[in-house]
Structure 1
Amino acid sequence: MNPIVYAIPIFFLMILIEVITTIIRKKDYYRVNDAINSLSTGMLNVTTGVIFKLGIYTLIYNHIALFSFDGNALWVWVLGFLLQDFFYYWNHRKGHEVNILWASHSVHHQSEEYNLTTALRQTSTSFLFSWIFYVPMATLGIPPHIFLTVSLLNLLYQYWVHTRHIPKLGWFEYVLVTPSNHRVHHAKNRKYLDKNYGGVFILWDRLFGTFIEEDENYEAIRYGTLKTLRSWNPVWANFHLYTEMLRDAIKTKSWKDKLTLWFRRTGYRPVDVATPMKMPDIHAYENYNPEASKGLKVYSLFQFAILVLATTVFMTISHNTPYGFNLLWTIVLALNLIGTGWLLEKYTGLIAVEAIRFVLSGATIFVSNGIWINLIPTWAWQFIIVSGAVSLLVLQASGIAKPGSNREGNTVRAAGS
């Protein structure tokens, strides 16, 4: 079973605690639409991870490892942990400095809020290039099971630092990544851009000149990316920068740019396609926040909770199910998440969108049980039929899906206010 499954209840418990704390402190650190979108990209990350397990690290280790270290020795585990964090720093740093790597990593930075759901906002395309940065570990001879374990520990550590509720932590700030110095990393203020890349240890940033301290007397932090996403579609969140680079490569007349723009400095675009990007006034434009009624938000949260439960079940069984089944249900989940995002940013056709979503899910169960005999229990059919019918009736009767009940509107407010 994927070990992330065990962490899911803890993740959501901590989110609940943070939401309650936010309400008690009368802060505005959460928005339903933004939180759902962040969690949606995280769900795509873990489900696509089932499909795209490349095993390149193990392949390199098995064929060209220079040493054969004892996988049970404590010093090897400590060495593996330190090396993984060191190479994570460079993986993370280059993810901000190279166009094609930023196209992947930018997903994590798209949220204009900063809370624990932001921590779970992860890319689904990191498998394409991130493995390159850990080749030295495999070549040295750090066993795959150690690499996988310390990578997971590194990822889990980073969860708690995505909060605005915890202030500076004294001497911790000099050694470890903390909420304070990681808030800086997610800021798009000019002073803070491209700083504090560490995963567990902030020492790498201090050593390589990329550290900056959070300045409480500086202007309010604004979160998100300089080129804003302005969409609740989690699939588009993963691919919009790739498509932009592809369009630039097609449009430019320079063959040099066609081949190299992918690996140029982040933000580079051919001069015959676009003028160089200037630093925008980050306080002048509005956060993406299409207006939605409370009823629609509650409905969306309920539907999303069902998808979270379905994803958890899928991750629990995916190691024992056929690859074709896993691929099919990953695609269906993605389509369901797109539909949920549609609910929160459109004001027409919601009943049709929901009807299609339920029919699609039911049809997928039918197809799955036709190909992989009785792999999905009968109650799943009944649940889709009942929940779908009830949901459509609620949308129709409540009026929250009528045109005009979900008009787009945006709110200007500084993050952290």
Structure 2
Amino acid sequence: MEGRRERPPASRAKKPAAKRTTTEHNGTVAARSHARSRGPQRGARSRGAEPDGDPMEKPTTRARPRQASMRIKDLRSSATGAAGVAEQPASPELQPPAIQPPASPELQPPISAPNEFDVMFKLEVPRIDLQEYHDTGAFYLVKFKRIPRGNPLSHFLEEEILSASKMLSKFREIIKEEVKEIKDSDICVEEEKPGSPAVTLLIRNPEEISVDIILALESKSSWPISTKEGLPIKNWLGTKMRTSLRREPFYLVPKDAKVGNSFQGKTWRLSFSHIEKYILKNHGIEKTCCEVGGAKCCRKDCLKLMKYLLEQLKKEYQELEAFCSYHVKTAILHMWTEHPQDREWDPKHLSRCFDNFVTFFVECLRTEKLLHYFIPKFNLFSQELIDQKSKEFLIEKIEYERNNGFPIFDKF
């Protein structure tokens, strides 16, 4: 199958372009509501979601099955929220991006109107030395192998370690100053969230839109050893595809590792959102899956529905604050890996596929095991990250929704 796969745009001269968000040569960041892309890029927080489930299993009988099935069918056209990659300045200095509000998404049904966007502001950092933090595989301390005179990032160093919190703080200051210069739009910078790698803009006019601007260090070195057994797509997208994707750069975002009830301010977390986005777009074992003229599948529809379900539950229950759309995305990638055949995702069986995905996600919660798709030793559902009580609460709410035909879809 691998010989028939289309090779991703791994050329350095021609980096994958993100269509959801683009950065003009003058540094302008413009977030768009469309989720298409030519290549890998950071995944977005969105009101939409993407696919998973196994139509080959027997469907479970639920209360109000016809109503649930019809509701799911109505929601199939939902679109994922936009995310994007902002090109870094030629120099690694922190320079203020000129910010303008993203174009308003077209009015569509609730699940298909994205109102949350991610923008990655890339900063290339050559010759860095990564030191794994506490055997996590995901968090690292960043040092420079050689610090030349005039290194513009030298004042962010603490005992030769590049401080993530210092850089993020400076980045936030720059964004705030730029926002002050915007006179014709109602835009504000939200309060800093502990442990978050993003600077969040809230745009209230003409409609409320949230934009996360994420500072990211770009490294073109080999991926860290903790990723060696990750990206398990050999039996799905092929060995050649996996090799090609691993030649892409990787990113580090200023995410503090949690230490007890506090955060380690110097750490950076690995990010492969550009690879995730590429896979989301090129998801079929047949390269023509979901292309114009090709057969369609319901992979993305399942993902959109599950993301939307989690989002609505989080609106109602503060107990679910620890969960995010990335957990749903990671789960669906594992589901697609286990069920790689396109025929298993026939759109005619969307209701069954979605039910299978819900079952899979609940099982991950119950066993407290959701391994990072790129870093297998990093468990996103570990006790250290999310307590058992929160996971049991989410299981209870998901099962209630499923057994009652997902009434929460009608509330918002």
TM-score interval, smaller chain: under 0.3
Q: Which structure is higher in strand share?
A: 2
Length-normalised TM-score, structure 2: 0.27
Greater RCO structure (CA 8 Å; 6+ sep): 2
